[in-house]
Homo-oligomer: A and B are copies of this chain.
Amino acid sequence: MDIGIVNKRYAAEVDAELERAISGCGAPEPLISAMRYSIKAGGKRLRPCLALGVCEMLGGNAEMALHLGCGIEMIHTYSLIHDDLPCMDDDDMRRGRPSNHRVFGEGQAVLAGDGLLTFAFEYMLGMGLVHESKSYFKAVHEIARRAGVSGMVAGQSKDLECENSETPDESALSFIHSHKTADMLTAAVLAGAYSADAGERQLLALERFSQKMGLLFQITDDILDYSGDEALVGKTLGKDENSRKLTFVTLYGIDKARELAERTAEEAKSILYAAFGPGAEYLVQTVEKMLSRKY
């Protein structure tokens, strides 16, 4: 298996479906242009690809995984738009282009985010009424939970609070990463599993795996920030490099951070092999790609 080829196929499906969905969403101008600007901003579609990869591994319903994955991508995109706002991280650039509020103004950017978040549920629920599967609705609920006030929004809130504090501590760092980053990756992996009507044991293994992957994602991101290799990391997390933020590198030093990344990747792979054997190759290669900082 060449994960590059598989991901290209997945991303093409996701791009086409996102464009189809947004085109028919009924938003007026300038709202629809603001939504489309950020949806088409060159994201790698990591989350929908994870949903599709897990679904394929488990022999599930690929359409369901596609619909859930696209909903997750809309939610991820709204979070980046709101994260870049002046009252949040105040970022003028995102993935090498002006951020949403720099192009459409702050008010419309808030609404583009609100719109993408609401439309994610309108879209996923609309598809759910066609699928008529309880497992699918469980997935939509899981996505809402992971995106919400005990998940991603909780991470953002804590992050914002710590930026204003002089002494962020290690437990806050762990809370922020676990919720701001890992929760939506977990939602994507579990969405793929629900699309295959996975059992409790598989769901648990995939959740444990996702938490490791989320941690790995964050450590390699911190390492890249430290190395100043902006081109590769692409600022996907909306961090403010100028703040004296606590990161894995500032906390442990660069060598220990690299070691931690490698150990975390091994742990993630072990969980996969133990639960799914050689069938887990797509996820294993995702972990390796992440470790070598291609995400």
Query: Could you tell me which A residues sit within 8 Å of B by CB distance?
Result: 25-28, 30-32, 35, 78, 82, 85, 87-88, 105-108, 110-111, 113-115, 117-119, 121-122, 125-126, 128-129, 132, 134, 137-138, 140-141, 144-145, 147-150, 153-154, 156-158, 160-161, 175
Contact = CB atoms under 8 A, between A and B. Distances in A.
B145 A122 contact: yes
A94 B148 CA distance: 25
A38 to B, nearest CB: 13
B32 A118 contact: no
27 contacts: A25-B150, A27-B153, A30-B157, A30-B161, A31-B153, A35-B149, A78-B114, A82-B111, A82-B114, A85-B107, A87-B106, A87-B107, A87-B110, A108-B157, A108-B160, A111-B156, A114-B114, A115-B157, A118-B147, A118-B149, A119-B148, A121-B121, A122-B141, A122-B145, A125-B140, A126-B145, A128-B141
Given A27-B149, A108-B160, A118 B119 contact: no
A119 B152 CA distance: 12
A125 B107 CA distance: 29
Given A108-B157, A154-B31, A129 B137 contact: yes
A141 B128 CA distance: 9
A149 B107 CA distance: 15
A110 B125 contact: no
B141 A118 contact: no
Contact of A144 (B26, B106, B121, B158): B121
A111 B153 contact: yes
Contacts of A122: 141, 144-145, 148-149
Given A25-B149, A121-B121, A154-B26, A85 B114 contact: no
Contact of A128 (B30, B137, B157): B137
A31 B148 CA distance: 11
A137 B111 contact: no
Contacts of A141: 122, 125-126, 128-129
Contacts of A26: 149-150, 154
A231 to B, nearest CB: 28
